[in-house]
Each structure stands twice: as C-alpha cells, then as structure tokens.
C-alpha cells in the first residue's frame, strides 16, 4: 500500500515570504571615510576582505602575532595589524574566527579596544546567541552570513555574481545597524543575489540543526550505513561506494537546481517509485522524533555547552572520531576510485579554512 506523505502540512499560516534585499536597497556610501577590519584571514575572512577591498572599501586585517596567514594577507595587498590595533583603528570589525576561538580573542583583544560608535560584525550567531561573549553596550552588533563557504563567496564575486546571505541586528545603538549590514552584504557581492533578514537566534539554531541533522551528520551517517549494509551483505565495496556515495552528487545537483520534484522528474520511474515508497521506511517517525530532540538540545544550549567543554578538554573525543572516520573502508575505497576519474577536480581542502 502506498503510504501517504506525512510531510504535507499543516504549516503556520502566518509565515509570509521574507523580503529580499538587493543592490538597490544597499549603499556602500555608508563606508565612506571608514575603516573596516577583518579579524582572521580564513575561509570567510579572506573572501569578505578581498571582496570589500575590490568594492572600494578600506580594509585592514587583524591577526595574532606569528599567524601563518600574515604573509598571505600581505601578498593580497592588505595592511596586517595586531588584532587589538585593528579593532582600535576600525569603525566596523568583522570577527572571522572559529566559534571556539572567539570568546578568548574577544575578551583579550577585541572588547578592551571597542569604543562607543563602533560596529561588531559576525558571520554566525553562536557566540552572541549563547552568550559566550559579553557585548559592549555602546556599539552596533550585526551579522552578515553568506549561505556558502568562503571560496565560493569569493569566486562568485569575481564572476560578477553573488552568494545569497542573511543579515541580522543584535544591537542597534547608532540606529543605522541594518544599513551597515546591507552595505557590507553589498560589498561582498551578496545583494547581487539577494539578502534575507533574520535574527541571531534563528540563524544560529537553524544553522546548527541543518549541519547536524541533514547536511553533515545525517548525510554522512546515511552514506556510511548504506555502504556498510551492502558490504556486509557480500557486495564489492567499489559497487557500494558508487551507489551510496559517488552518485549522491548527481542527485544533490538535481535537487539543488530544481528542487525535490525536479529531481524526481529527471530520474527513472523505477528510482522514483523506490524513492516514494521506501524513503519513509528510512526516515521514520522515530527519526523525526530524534531530530526534534537534537533541535531541543540546540535551543537549550546543551549542544553548545557540550562543544565548549570538548574544546576546553583538548578535543580528545573529537579527534578520535575524526581519525576513525578517516580510517573507514569507504575512504580507502573512494581514494582508489577517485584516482580513476581524471575529469574530477582534485581539491586541497586544507587551505585557509581555519586560519587566523
């Protein structure tokens, strides 16, 4: 018997489509005679800094003494300062640091150098929303969060395009905080694509949920479970790799370009029927109940407290789990098969992502 789709409504009727801000809604003149500082030169930091610079803004980079990112930033023509000096000199300061490094750097180098009238900018809401830092009372606090990794933010900008982004205002002491956020979004190219307004709470909680339940945690475990099921049943690991990992990109690309219905339009009737009738046996009411449990852990701050504790404890469990993942059979199988695919771009994913 074909099961009805439990995902069909009802949804809150009060939810209206969000307003989309574009180039005409933002004014880079907001930054006239102002200095912008980007603290950190990693994935998001380098993209924001380069895009803003090429949009005509004055940008300096703040780094800790001995940072390996310093020569890289200088090669791109930036003046590199200590974090404290960058904060003192700048009018708008972007905290482009990993979540678990923000509190320490903020306490030691950022907060002592903040003064009335400055603006602090984040690309993710965790440190602010979960009170890992104490906000200076006399400044603007905003968010500009592109919905993609920094290297794509940069690439799209150089192509004359833009990455969609979210903006939010946590403190609006100047009464101009939203204009500053929109100007920054324009400077990095995001208003070319479209910018939506949210809150630090909504961005943070939905971002963590998406990472844990669907994009990273859920997808990784689904791939591994499918691979292991086929291998344990006696099928060759190469066959399992192709069916449970390699071809996933083809399906994700279809969904990305045309939505779930568009993907279903493009696959065979057999695949479509299997999707419609078997998918619900994998993602069950128990799965959704666990999703709600994970969401509650995010909303209450339980996940953040756990992550802070793990980080302060030296990341022992974190590193152990990463190592186990690197040693899984699927990684060895995949490395060998990808070597047979000369058309596939081999990427060095270490890059500047976590640099500061």
Does residue 352 carry a pLDDT above 80?
no
User: For position 343, what pLDDT does the model report?
Assistant: 79
243 and 223 Cβ atoms separated by less than 8 Å: no
Percent of the chain clearing pLDDT 70 (strictly above): 92
SS (H, E, C) 180-248: HHHHHHHHCCHHHCCEEECCHHHHHHHHHHHHHHHHCHHHHHHHHHHHHHHHHCCCCHHHHHHHHHHCH
Does residue 3 carry a pLDDT above 50?
no
Average pLDDT over residues 317-343: 93
User: For position 18, what pLDDT does the model report?
Assistant: 80
Mean pLDDT across the chain, nearest whole number? 93
Summarize the chain as % helix, strand, coil (round to 5). Answer: 55, 10, 35
Does residue 326 carry a pLDDT above 70?
yes
Does residue 13 carry a pLDDT above 70?
no
User: For position 15, what pLDDT does the model report?
Assistant: 61
129 and 99 Cβ atoms separated by less than 8 Å: no
Average pLDDT over residues 241-262: 96
pTM: 0.89
Strands 79-82 and 92-95 come out as: unpaired
| Higher per-residue confidence, 321 vs 349 | 321
Does residue 314 carry a pLDDT above 50?
yes
Active-site residue flag, 124: yes
Catalytic residue among 46, 48, 124, 129: 124
Does residue 234 carry a pLDDT above 80?
yes
Does residue 35 carry a pLDDT above 50?
yes
Establish how many alpha carbons lie within 13 A of residue 120's alpha carbon, considering only the half-sphere containing its beta carbon: 26
Average pLDDT over residues 42-71: 96
| Higher per-residue confidence, 350 vs 21 | 21
Does residue 347 carry a pLDDT above 90?
no
pLDDT in tens, 139-198: 999 999 999 999 999 999 999 999 999 999 999 999 999 999 999 999 999 999 999 999
User: For position 354, what pLDDT does the model report?
Assistant: 44
Neighbours of 297 (CB within 10 A): 17
Confidence of residue 12 (pLDDT cuts 50, 70, 90): low
Q: Tell me the three state secondary structure of residue 2.
A: coil
Average pLDDT over residues 3-8: 45
pLDDT in tens, 109-138: 999 999 999 999 999 999 999 999 999 999
């Amino acid at each position: 018997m074909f099961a009805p789709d439990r995902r069909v409504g009802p949804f809150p009727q009060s939810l209206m489509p969000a307003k989309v801000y574009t180039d005409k809604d933002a004014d880079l003149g907001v930054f006239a005679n102002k200095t912008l500082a980007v603290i950190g030169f990693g994935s998001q930091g380098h993209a924001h800094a380069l895009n803003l610079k090429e949009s005509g803004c004055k940008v300096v980079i703040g780094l800790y003494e001995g940072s390996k990112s310093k020569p890289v930033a200088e090669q791109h023509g930036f003046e590199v300062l200590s974090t404290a000096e960058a904060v003192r000199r700048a009018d708008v300061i972007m905290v482009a640091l990993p979540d678990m490094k923000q509190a320490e750097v903020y306490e030691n180098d950022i907060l002592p150098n903040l003064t009335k009238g400055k603006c602090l900018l984040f690309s993710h809401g965790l440190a602010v929303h979960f009170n890992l830092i104490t906000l200076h009372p006399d400044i603007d606090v905003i968010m500009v969060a592109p919905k993609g990794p920094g290297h794509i933010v940069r690439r799209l900008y150089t192509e004359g395009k833009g990455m969609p982004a979210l903006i939010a205002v946590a403190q609006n002491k100047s009464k101009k905080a939203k204009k500053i956020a929109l100007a920054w979004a324009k400077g990095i190219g995001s208003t070319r694509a479209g910018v939506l307004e949210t809150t630090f709470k909504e961005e943070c909680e939905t971002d963590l949920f998406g990472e844990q339940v669907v994009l990273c945690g859920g997808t990784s475990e689904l791939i591994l479970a499918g691979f292991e099921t086929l291998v344990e049943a006696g099928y060759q690991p190469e066959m399992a790799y192709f069916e449970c990992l390699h071809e996933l990109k083809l399906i994700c690309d279809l969904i990305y370009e045309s939505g779930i219905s568009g993907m279903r339009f493009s696959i065979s009737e057999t695949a479509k029927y299997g999707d419609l009738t078997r998918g619900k046996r994998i993602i069950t009411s128990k799965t959704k109940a666990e999703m709600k449990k994970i969401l509650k852990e995010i909303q209450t701050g339980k996940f953040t407290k756990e992550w802070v504790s793990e980080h302060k404890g030296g990341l022992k469990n974190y590193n152990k789990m990463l190592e186990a993942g690197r040693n899984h059979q699927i990684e060895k199988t995949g490395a060998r098969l990808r070597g047979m695919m000369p058309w596939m771009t081999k990427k060095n994913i270490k890059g500047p992502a976590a640099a500061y």
